[in-house]
Chain A
């Protein structure tokens, strides 16, 4: 398989996952806001930090009002991580490689992008926000289902999966980081009333609430939530589970040693984590998340260097 094709598939999957995760994040934040209007400012502004877009945002907007933040995250195509930006990027990635994909996938991605753009002409109508988010999430999941149900186990499928799991690891860690850093008890008395609620919001933004309740069976508590998100081996959005999946996918590819080792290192780090300690100290959690992000970048670099770039190596390495 051509490196260019592999790279396009990888980015298509990352962008699709990004669009879905961003939509989830906004949806759950909105639900929390509806219940507790007093916390509104804190919450919306935080989203920009969660997705790591402080710089991009500051370039285009002066304030962090609800409508600016939402416009930026949903509709601003200048920002590749916005829902529309990500869907557009996924579509462009697939455009040049659509021969390797079942036709319906191309049609669906096209349709989803056009429908979403139609719904958002320029700014956000808050009354239609839920409808828009539902459309984006359902569309992304439809595509994920199509890919799962129609792609043979070839490198085409593998690179889609690799992109998807890595982006999910990334987004999950971002959600956990900023939310948690805000939430963890610095002065327990102030934050106590919100704590429970916001931990629930972390779970809900990952569609983890029900799964958590079924497995943990206790009231929602910080350390348990952190442990669940980081280390649960069964929940599809937990970081450990994403890494395990990522690992097994990467292992099926040729010349996977460097990338495999990078995943291994991050997995080891996760497994060595003491969740209780992490949950009790915002500093420890934050450090862990920093390491996690570095690990994700390292994995990405290894993937790029192994399969996409090989760019201008002067002496050809010949595979037969």
Chain B
């Protein structure tokens, strides 16, 4: 007997990623839904077990701190993929490219002429108060004007199906390795679904990343020497750092492996002696990369790295200071930023945003806390935010005080009715909220967007929090070519 009966599955009130209406799969998900409906409970459980075993065998993990202990946890994965039709995806891809292009121009402008401020489009006071603006970067113009070579943008879909950009991660976005591993796991446990050839592959990301990093090398006449720089094994994303280094065949270094010579070039300590490094894909936060320029206490960084970078002797990816545009207050200005630099309308929508620094907006926010999501400007990972409708009156009151004390640090958005996707639970398949994080690579010459991205799912019923550190899971994401299917 079939275990999953689509006409019994409930997702009313939300946009469902797989089903157009109860019992009726979207054209792009038809093959998948049919396949799943044809399986018995035992077979579904076997698939789930097979996926868990694969994750264990492949050693896919992430690290969490708990009571001072470091725990390697198996990556939480749901076997039911999330599907996006190719034609829709192509539009998203264009939108992301447009957005990242404008953001890079914005960052470059802020550290140089500040035309956008002089022209009155972006308020100077916002920049003055930004915690991610790095004085040390003023006057620098990295090759191609690219600061955020790698961007991870979070996309969500509202009730009516509109896709919104929720935020842009321009500092050290993570998750791409899980996107790749999710696909590997799905291919292992459901290989027959890939035989149709309609599911687009995702696995050229490491090659694209490598090409982009190579292109950044300041020594054009040399085979570039590239490294991935990690804060070390205690970092929650260490698995990803090691994975990407391995996939690209480059060294995984820590700060102590590098040294800046008197010639202001960066070298790594190897058994062959000191070897010059051209490109550093650094997964260490700005403030820790160079104790000479930033936090003098940092043991994760390399003294003189900023000097080497300023002198053009090493490429840093992402550039220090790129985080200035990775700010939930700056976010509200992105549509204007796109119009200003590209003279075009944004292809992808921004979620309407209220900035608590503006008096009108703040009053509205304080009066409507029960309807809004309020976020601190510079936290990531879903920490420190208030989901108004789910909070108690006491929590809302406490949060109102925080907003009044530091209005610049907060912005609010209406609670979107985040889309859902069928997810395997203890009680069969149920609807759970999802988001999507695609990754965008910008070399200055071309821009590459991952095919889909990392779909994160809030495994707890009704929850909107998708972060793996807080009980979120993930799904394989399929971009499906439906052309010629009569859809």
Contacts and interface: CB of A to CB of B under 8 A. Distances in A.
Contacts, number: 67
A318 B253 CA distance: 18
Contacts of A103: 59
Interface stretch (B257-265, B287-295, B371-379, B436-444): B257-265
Given A2-B253, A96-B233, A319-B274, A311 B269 contact: yes
A190 interface: no
A14 to B, nearest CB: 17
Interface in B260-288: 261-263, 265, 267-276
B268 A2 contact: yes
Interface in B168-211: none
Contacts of A254: 271-273
A122 interface: no
A315 B273 contact: no
Contacts of B256: 4
A134 interface: no
B29 interface: no
Contact of B273 (A96, A155, A255, A314): A255
A310 B274 contact: yes
A248 interface: no
A317 B273 CA distance: 6
Given A96-B232, A312-B259, A315-B261, A4 B273 contact: no
A317 B269 CA distance: 10
Interface string B154-175: 0000000000000000000000
A99 B252 contact: yes
Nearest to B227: A2
Interface in A152-171: 155, 159
Interface in B208-249: 232-233, 242, 245-246
B262 A319 contact: no
A180 to B, nearest CB: 37
Nearest to B265: A316
Interface in B407-462: none
Interface string A290-320: 0000000000000000010011111111110
Contacts of B270: 1-3, 319
B221 to A, nearest CB: 12
A203 to B, nearest CB: 37
A99 B241 CA distance: 11
Nearest to B252: A99
Nearest to A107: B59
B251 interface: yes
Contacts of A307: 271
Contacts of A138: none
B262 A314 contact: yes
Query: What interface size band does chain A fall in?
Result: 20 to 34
A239 interface: no
Given A314-B262, A316-B263, A316-B265, A4 B272 contact: no
DSSP majority for the B interface? mixed
B271 A1 contact: yes
B274 A318 contact: yes
Contacts of A314: 261-262
Nearest to A255: B273
Interface string B18-58: 00000000000000000000000000000000000000000
Nearest to B230: A96
B272 A319 contact: yes
B119 to A, nearest CB: 46
Contact of A310 (B59, B242, B251, B273): B273
A3 B262 contact: no
A175 interface: no
Contacts of B252: 99
Interface residues of B, number: 27
DSSP majority for the A interface? loop
B254 interface: yes
Contacts of A315: 261-262
Given A99-B242, A307-B271, A3 B257 contact: yes
A253 B271 CA distance: 8
B243 to A, nearest CB: 9
A113 to B, nearest CB: 15
A6 interface: yes
Contacts of A96: 232-233
A1 B227 CA distance: 12
Contacts of B272: 1, 254-255, 319
A319 B242 CA distance: 25
Residue of B257, B272, B275 with most chain A CB atoms under a 10 A cut-off: B272
A95 interface: yes
A318 B245 CA distance: 23
Contacts of A4: 254, 256-257, 269
B271 A3 contact: yes
Contacts of B232: 96
B273 A319 contact: yes
A6 B268 CA distance: 13
Given A4-B256, A253-B271, A255-B273, A316 B261 contact: yes
Nearest to A158: B271
Nearest to B59: A103
A114 to B, nearest CB: 14
Contacts of B257: 2-4
Contacts of B265: 316
Nearest to B273: A319
Nearest to A254: B272
Residue of A2, A159, A310, A313 with most chain B CB atoms under a 10 A cut-off: A2
Contacts of A255: 271-273
A255 B271 CA distance: 8
B272 to A, nearest CB: 4
A307 B262 CA distance: 21
A303 to B, nearest CB: 10
B57 to A, nearest CB: 9
Nearest to A253: B271
A307 B232 CA distance: 21
Interface in A130-155: 155
Contacts of B271: 1-3, 6, 155, 159, 253-255, 307
A313 B309 CA distance: 20
B233 A95 contact: yes
A12 to B, nearest CB: 15
Contact of B274 (A6, A155, A159, A317): A317
The 9 residue pairs across chains A and B that have the minimum distance between CB atoms: A316-B261, A319-B273, A319-B272, A3-B269, A316-B274, A307-B271, A317-B273, A254-B272, A6-B271
7 contacts: A4-B254, A4-B256, A99-B242, A255-B273, A310-B273, A312-B259, A316-B276
Interface of B: 59, 232-233, 242, 245-246, 251-254, 256-257, 259, 261-263, 265, 267-276
Given A4-B256, A316-B276, 9 more contacts: A1-B272, A2-B271, A3-B269, A3-B271, A4-B254, A99-B242, A254-B272, A315-B261, A315-B262
